[in-house]
A and B are shown apart, each in its own frame.
Chain A
Amino acid sequence: MVAGLVAVTRRDLLLAWKRPGDVLNPLFFFAMVCTLFPLAVGPSPEQLTFSGPGVLWVAALLAALLSLNSLFLGDHEDGSLDQLLVSAQPLPMLVLGKTLAHWLTSGLPLVLISPVLALTYRMPGNVMGVLMLTLLLGTICLSLLGSIGAALTVGLNRGTALLGLLILPLAMPVLLLGANTVSLAAGNEMYTTGVWALAAYAVAAISLAPYATAAALRISNE
């Protein structure tokens, strides 16, 4: 059962390795938004500390959305999506493998460079830790939610705007929880509740989203 997951993840990582542009695009977008914002609003430390968590989180959400559109598009165009659908492996596991590869190449890099960008917002070390932890859980949620949207829009031309509309309502709790948790940590208040809630969201997404995505793919690939 895991064979399909491993095979798809390996293939997609290999593809990402051969086309690094797709991986770097969302990362550049994230870095640009986060560095341009302080330039636009001015360097006052209070303002930057205050808006840092929100800006970092919004930028991460949009960067994750940006990369989602291509999740199934390539497979749909070259016919390998058909091959996955007639494969003897359980489709939800194949879908989970694709989402895992997508997260490793688009979500995880965001988490890893976030401390560097957080420096711009004068974020202290312990808050950076909370930022990375919430982004880690949050990007997992976004990749999985996004896979449902990407599966539903795969047969449509220019589904990007629709994809955003479909996912944003589901992604709102992730954004609110993430940004607020980091703000609370920055204000030296209790923040663990938010982390647990995000973790619960991530676990629910891992266990449910692949089934929804698999069903959506079967419908939209007809």
Chain B
Amino acid sequence: MTAKLSGSDLTLIRGERCLFEGLSFALEPGQLLLLEGENGSGKTSLMRAIAMLLSLESGEICWNGEPVLSQRQEYHGALVWLAHRTGLKGDLTLVENLRFENALRPQNRIDIDEVLSRLGIGRLKSLPVRSLSAGQQRRVALARMLLADVPLWLLDEPFTNLDRNGRLLVMQLVEEHLDGGGLCVMAAHQDVSVDALVKRVSL
């Protein structure tokens, strides 16, 4: 089964403002969809709509040719979502947070320690997330991507708070994911240099 994500004729209205209208895209395995636009142009809203956190005015998002609305659970099982707010509990330690992620996805088989050392945060694992710097917290959130072996990555501003090495690491991880036949949707301000087919949506 080849995974495929597409959206056709998407329109979103927030309050009085129309954020986008008649927007379409199609994404195949190994491709990156880059959402570009100024602050407030609706990148995050489109990401949230793709993750089914926001309902669209009109249009349809399809996963493997079927509308996502008719297969919410399968679709959500095939994606991970990284947003501006990391979704980590400040009072819990890094490992406790990630164990919770794993408990929600019982099919996860990847070792937490391995992922943490890959991200360069292995020695912080017994500290509460609250005590980490913003960049370190973002790296912990990235661990969620690596732990879950799923085809679709939704990354909203993944480079926020990261240092130069961190940004390079994100691009490297995305590249590996795409090489392995994964799909990625990313909203970013800065230019992304990835060795893969990049499709762009300008908002």
Contacts from A to B (Cβ < 8 Å): 3-4, 6-7, 10-11, 14-15, 18-19, 77-80, 82-83, 85-90, 221-222
On whether the beta carbons of B86 and A14 are closer than 8 Å, the reply is no
User: Across the interface, which residues of A come within 8 angstroms of B53, CB to CB?
Assistant: 82, 85-86, 221-222
On whether the beta carbons of A222 and B73 are closer than 8 Å, the reply is no
11 A/B residue pairs, CB under 8 Å, sorted by A:
A3-B104, A18-B92, A19-B91, A78-B85, A80-B87, A82-B81, A82-B85, A82-B87, A89-B104, A221-B53, A222-B53
Contacts from B to A (Cβ < 8 Å): 51-55, 73, 76-77, 79, 81, 83-92, 96, 100, 103-106
Given contacts A14-B92, A78-B89, A86-B52, contact A7 B100 (CB under 8 A): yes
Main secondary structure of the interface of B (DSSP, over half): loop
Across the interface, name the chain B residue whose C-beta is closest to A3: B106
User: Across the interface, which residues of B come within 8 angstroms of A88, CB to CB?
Assistant: 73, 76-77, 104-105
Main secondary structure of the interface of A (DSSP, over half): helix
User: Across the interface, which residues of A come within 8 angstroms of B87, CB to CB?
Assistant: 78-80, 82-83
Min Cβ gap B108→A in Å is 11
Given contacts A11-B92, A18-B92, contact A79 B103 (CB under 8 A): no
On whether the beta carbons of B89 and A87 are closer than 8 Å, the reply is no
User: Across the interface, which residues of B come within 8 angstroms of A6, CB to CB?
Assistant: 103
Across the interface, name the chain A residue whose C-beta is closest to B102: A7
Complex CA–CA separation, A18 to B53 (angstroms):
30
On whether the beta carbons of A80 and B51 are closer than 8 Å, the reply is no
User: Across the interface, which residues of B come within 8 angstroms of A15, CB to CB?
Assistant: 89, 91-92
Complex CA–CA separation, A165 to B89 (angstroms):
30
User: Across the interface, which residues of B come within 8 angstroms of A222, CB to CB?
Assistant: 53-55
On whether the beta carbons of B83 and A79 are closer than 8 Å, the reply is yes
User: Across the interface, which residues of A come within 8 angstroms of B54, CB to CB?
Assistant: 222
On whether the beta carbons of A79 and B84 are closer than 8 Å, the reply is yes
User: Across the interface, which residues of B come within 8 angstroms of A14, CB to CB?
Assistant: 92, 96
Across the interface, name the chain B residue whose C-beta is closest to A81: B87
Complex CA–CA separation, A77 to B85 (angstroms):
8
User: Across the interface, which residues of B come within 8 angstroms of A80, CB to CB?
Assistant: 87-89
User: Across the interface, which residues of B come within 8 angstroms of A10, CB to CB?
Assistant: 100, 103
